[in-house]
Amino acid sequence: MDLNIKGKYAVISGGAKGIGEAITCKLLEEGCNVAILDKDKDALNQLKNRNSDLGKFILPIEVDLTEIENCQSAIKRVLEWSSGQLHILVNNAGVNDGVKIESGPESFEKSLRLNLLHAYALVHYAVDALKGNQGAILNITSKVALTGQGGTSGYAASKGALNGLTREWAVDLAPHGVRVNSIAPAEVMTPLYEHWLSTLPNPEETLEHINKQIPLGNRMTTKEEIANLAVFLCSPLSSHTTGQILHPDGGYVHLDRSCTSALNKTSK
């Protein structure tokens, strides 16, 4: 299916690894020009090398987005590269940093800077270009914002705020033809998820337990499945969808717990 984004310009934060990398690659596959904002220089270089035949369509920017002035500089560089064109902005950067109630206000503030403030800043500095192109904004949030997890106040607050901003910005920008949506992933295997599993005493047993709690297929969502939905939402084929928070999670968040494998006698 042609998503009609060939030749368009996109910017994605945290676009060099995990879900962000999958979205980057899908955008490139559809013929989009992609600016990738990421602080991991090695991951940026590896991604560009894997897509060496698409080099002229990629702008890798090594940047620490926790510094607001860096967000402004990054968007300025993107707009210079694209001659002022911007059609898609994906706020993906963030990490579940484990800042909890006991961590204290200073740590909580740092978590908000790590997971939330740059999203607002990037939209602020890019909004005029997005208005001029009737573009699309996509926020990658998390099921943690809806379900809670325990021990992660900063991340949960940040992702909950992004869900709220999705609807706030959708209202603000509807008169300009700019659409704003969110995807809230649940259980997706990424490098960060793999690292977390590796710290546990029984990672395989833990993974099996998690899979059993996912009603559709008793498996985790793939990052490619997230990317497919993300790019569709950013494309003109989703032209009348805005203010939505979507959950591509195999029913993990919203389906009744009686359909998880612990009680579902028909699943194998």
State the Cα–Cα distance between residues 198 and 219, nearest whole angstrom. 18
Provide the b/e sequence for 84-105 (b: ≥16 CB within 10 Å): ebbbbbbbbbbebbebbeebee
**Whole-angstrom distance, CA of residue 199 vs CA of residue 44:** 26
**DSSP H/E element including 136:** strand 136-140
CB 262 within 8 A of CB 211: no
From 9, 125, 155, 252, active-site residue? 155
- Among 17, 12, 13, smallest CA distance to 192 is for 17
Active site residue 155: yes
Q: At what angle do helices 18-29 and 223-234 cross, to 10 degrees?
A: 50
Active site (catalytic) residues: 155
